Structure 1
Amino acid sequence: MAKKYWDEKFEIMNESDMKAWQLQQLKQTVAWVYERVPFYKKAFDNAGVKPSDLQKLEDIAKFPFSVKTDLRDNYPFGLCAVPMSDVVRIHASSGTTGKPITGPYTAEDLNQWADLMARGLWAQEVRPDSILQNAYGMGLFTGGLGFLQGAMRIGCAVVPSGAGMTERQIMLIQDFGTTALCCTPSYCLTIIEKAEKMGIDFRKTNLRTGHFGAEPWTVEMRTEIEARSGIHAYEHYGLTELMGPGVSFTCEYYNIHINEDHVLPEIVDPGTLEPVDLGEEGELIFTSLQRRAMPMIRYRTRDICALRRDKCECGRTLITMDKILGRSDDMMIISGVNVFPSQIETVLMEFEEVEPLYQIRLRKKGYIDHIGVETEVKAAVYQSGQETLDNLCKKISSRIQQVIGINVPITILPPETIERSIGKAKRIIDER
């Protein structure tokens, strides 16, 4: 009988034992960076704390945060805690807004990362007899190689197809008998749309699961993917700064379990930066617990969500996080109202006439910011006449106003106007 959990010891560890483990690892990590990384020594000293001040988990709140600009200011390896002779791989973010964020790894870091990716994939039905098609880009981006090494740890057959060449992706799914697909959720929708136009139903293939990450997506988007393809759509969450994907994963009940034996999560109020209670929404903070090359201390992810200790039917006791509502730096403030792209997406997915493709366009009229949403509808709806389209725009706009409290004009574009994604979809176009 196949094992239920990849790493039973930690996946079903009771809370008190987990906290004892976390405190032990946290003490070691804080001392490690204080001794080896000048940035952290200076930051701790300026905050008036030392590693010896960490006597219980709650004491982590005494320590200073780290943020993305700290990595850029210390580019490329100023936050590295080991000599380069101990570094065996270097990943990096895209660097579209400046210098990239670098992620060096020791051999042990890579070994742990592979195991965490295997843990998540195992929870999502991947087994040694699976055929996993990895349609993430292979390169500096952590996603491609992260999924590759997790699948290899399980021992299944891997098809490293890489991103793009959508018709070839579909051919490989058919010809190779692919059972599991890894890519961004928006690219999965691009693949599904292309397959539908080619007259191919994924229900008649061996494809059973999708393993998605690298961009925020809603429950409604997951429902859309599953309804159109017949697969189970699972999630992986991570950041280049921490390790890449592998920070958390969904189980078969779609709860997002954090690998809290490797990362210590906190939620803080985005305004006061004070810790909040379980179940309260705020900014997600992570501290590395076992990483050696570049551990992060109280790293501000800018992601907004809540943590929960609810019992999961899968049996895992790992703490769970809500689906990311949005990023604090993606939050749009329009007429004094906080708006996240996920709120727009959730409303659009309520309307069966609408395709899961949209763009939010921000403009400035005088001194006032204005928001508009462009989306596509199904071809038959688009051809049904302008009156039908106008009525649909009014319904969607009215529903968005009910949800977020402001008027958002809707523009319906001709089919295939919005650029299809092969990686992360661009949702916001800021013309201000």
Structure 2
Amino acid sequence: MIWNESIECMDREGLRKIQSIRLKKMVEYVYHNTPFYRKKMQELGLTPDDINGIEDITKLPFTTKTDLRDNYPFGLCAVPMSQIVRIHGSSGTTGKPTVVGYTRKDLSLWTECLSRCFTAYGADNKDIFQIAYGYGLFTGGLGAHYGAENIGASVIPMSSGNTDKQIQLMHDFGTTVLCCTPSYALFIADAIKDSGIPREDFKLKAGVFGAEPWTESMRKEIEEKLAIKAYDIYGLSEISGPGVGFECDHQNGTHLNEDHFFPEIVDPHTLQPVEPGQQGELVFTHLTKEGMPLLRYRTKDLTALHYEKCDCGRTLVRMDRILGRSDDMLIIRGVNVFPTQIESVILELPEFEPHYLLTVDRVNNTDRMELKVEARPEFYSDEINKMLALKKKITSRLQSVLGLGVDVKIVEPRSIERSVGKAKRVIDNRKL
């Protein structure tokens, strides 16, 4: 099902015209309403007259998370606070939170994007959504809530946590669509098994999972354990929250709502555009945002874009699954390592649960990685030989994929702390 066929299936030339018109208006708008951008453009010798179409976007300055923090809290808003009706922000665990302001129009367009997502997953007004993303400053809960209501679905605003209650209401209310982080979906799957309620007594058919990187192997794990179809949803609070991108039924990449958020891929080192299909850092420019529009915002997410028409009929550009974030990338003894690579190895081996903790340390001036990973109950044993064989198997596979040695410790099932929000899977104790 397609929510907005005229946009989602528009020919590329028509879409490019819309993007060009909107970009020109947006540059004019921020030049006159956001002192930060006016100063940036003046430093580059740019005026709005220099931007005549989407092809001129590379002339514009980049924006980074540091810029948002330097202008905390509302320095990048393009409207007075009297027009800001909603404020969201990051958790601020690494300093000041990044703050985002929304006007009524912004909320309406955000809801439109979520409606496109949910209908692409096959949801409609007969569905019951259980929103187990956190409600609050985090954009996940309220973002998904408004999108589900907009397509006429019933919404259970559960928020995250209280897993026993989640399962009870999922069963009693007949939830058909679950929205949460993929790691929490696995936690819920284990809890359902422990509850003793037969899986066939639930009406769950689809899951909408995002807010943290996850792999194809993890998707299969969730689909098998919950007996659902698992869909990826992409977003970031600085751009709008969930709904920037969505998978369709073909699950051959994430369609981006590029009539609202123009995507580019640049080389993270040179910041120069790369060829279509090549991997690099994802950059977004707002084309319709009123409250706090951003030009060329560097997401730090590493991916690639594909412009061929999808088998679903949509022409919206498709994004590869996020490899990781350039700032999540660990450099271990000169080798680039992404947590998603480790997760992929764990999930391809049937002896292990998809729960792990990677600790990086520096001992005698040498980087060292320790990986704690849970064995599945049927493979966990008191017999030393069996556990040594398991350790050898996963260590060898990690060495092959990463090109590095990893000190693996196999731990008993359910011994690694579970998360109801974004999973904390990497601890880097090095003083870099």
Report the TM-score when normalising by structure 2: 0.98
SS of the residue corresponding to residue 379 of structure 2 reads helix
Identify the residue that residue 337 of structure 1 maps to in structure 2: 335
The residue type equivalent to 2:49 in the other structure is S
The residue type equivalent to 2:239 in the other structure is L
Identify the residue that residue 14 of structure 1 maps to in structure 2: 11
2:69 is the alignment partner of 1:72: yes
Q: 1:408 aligns with which of 374, 399, 406?
A: 406
For the structure 1 residues 384 and 310, does the alpha-carbon distance in structure 2 shift closer, same or farther, using more than 3 Å as the test? farther
Equivalent-residue separation in structure 2 for 1:24 and 1:311 (angstroms): 23
Gaps of 5+ in 2: none
2:144 is the alignment partner of 1:147: yes
Q: C-alpha offsets along residues 370-418 of structure 1, whole Å, 9 cap, x if unaligned?
A: 1121110111211252221211111111111111211112111122211
2:190 is the alignment partner of 1:193: yes
Equivalent-residue separation in structure 2 for 1:393 and 1:203 (angstroms): 36
Deviation, structure 1 residue 204: 3.7
SS of the residue corresponding to residue 239 of structure 2 reads coil
After TM superposition, list the pairs within 5 Å mapping 1:133-144 onto structure 2: 133-144=130-141
Gaps of 5+ in 1: none
After TM superposition, list the pairs within 5 Å mapping 1:134-283 onto structure 2: 134-254=131-251, 255-283=253-281
The more displaced of 310-319 and 297-306 is 310-319
Q: C-alpha offsets along residues 34-93 of structure 1, whole Å, 9 cap, x if unaligned?
A: 111111011111122222111232211111100001000000000000011111111111
2:344 is the alignment partner of 1:352: no
Equivalent-residue separation in structure 1 for 2:106 and 2:204 (angstroms): 32
Q: How many residues align?
A: 429
Identify the residue that residue 394 of structure 2 maps to in structure 1: 396
Deviation, structure 1 residue 95: 0.6
Q: 1:61 aligns with which of 58, 65, 73?
A: 58
The more displaced of 100-109 and 307-316 is 307-316
Deviation, structure 1 residue 311: 2.7
Q: 2:93 aligns with which of 92, 96, 107?
A: 96
2:41 is the alignment partner of 1:44: yes
Deviation, structure 1 residue 25: 0.5
The residue type equivalent to 1:8 in the other structure is E
SS of the residue corresponding to residue 144 of structure 2 reads helix
2:271 is the alignment partner of 1:303: no
Q: C-alpha offsets along residues 310-351 of structure 1, whole Å, 9 cap, x if unaligned?
A: 331111110000000000000000111100000000111111
The residue type equivalent to 1:358 in the other structure is Y
The residue type equivalent to 2:172 in the other structure is D
Equivalent-residue separation in structure 2 for 1:200 and 1:29 (angstroms): 53
SS of the residue corresponding to residue 395 of structure 1 reads helix
Equivalent-residue separation in structure 1 for 2:372 and 2:44 (angstroms): 47
The residue type equivalent to 1:168 in the other structure is K
Q: 1:109 aligns with which of 106, 110, 135?
A: 106
Paired residues of 1:393 and 1:412 also in contact (CA < 8 A): yes
Paired residues of 2:381 and 2:387 also in contact (CA < 8 A): no
Give me the identity figure in percent: 51
Equivalent-residue separation in structure 2 for 1:262 and 1:11 (angstroms): 12
The more displaced of 281-290 and 360-369 is 360-369
The residue type equivalent to 2:289 in the other structure is R
Q: C-alpha offsets along residues 258-294 of structure 1, whole Å, 9 cap, x if unaligned?
A: 0000000000001111000110000000000100100
After TM superposition, list the pairs within 5 Å mapping 1:409-428 onto structure 2: 409-428=407-426
SS of the residue corresponding to residue 165 of structure 2 reads helix
Q: C-alpha offsets along residues 90-119 of structure 1, whole Å, 9 cap, x if unaligned?
A: 111111111111110000000000111111
Equivalent-residue separation in structure 2 for 1:225 and 1:203 (angstroms): 16
SS of the residue corresponding to residue 217 of structure 1 reads coil
Q: 1:34 aligns with which of 31, 34, 40?
A: 31
Q: C-alpha offsets along residues 181-211 of structure 1, whole Å, 9 cap, x if unaligned?
A: 0100000000001111223343441100000
Equivalent-residue separation in structure 2 for 1:44 and 1:388 (angstroms): 64
Paired residues of 1:146 and 1:245 also in contact (CA < 8 A): yes
Equivalent-residue separation in structure 2 for 1:392 and 1:335 (angstroms): 26
The residue type equivalent to 1:65 in the other structure is F
Identify the residue that residue 372 of structure 2 maps to in structure 1: 374
Equivalent-residue separation in structure 2 for 1:203 and 1:232 (angstroms): 15
Paired residues of 1:303 and 1:325 also in contact (CA < 8 A): yes
Paired residues of 2:256 and 2:317 also in contact (CA < 8 A): yes
Paired residues of 1:253 and 1:314 also in contact (CA < 8 A): yes
Paired residues of 2:181 and 2:422 also in contact (CA < 8 A): yes
Paired residues of 1:201 and 1:229 also in contact (CA < 8 A): no
Paired residues of 2:83 and 2:103 also in contact (CA < 8 A): yes
Paired residues of 1:308 and 1:319 also in contact (CA < 8 A): yes
Equivalent-residue separation in structure 2 for 1:8 and 1:113 (angstroms): 17
Identify the residue that residue 313 of structure 2 maps to in structure 1: 315
The more displaced of 406-415 and 151-160 is 406-415
Paired residues of 2:282 and 2:299 also in contact (CA < 8 A): yes
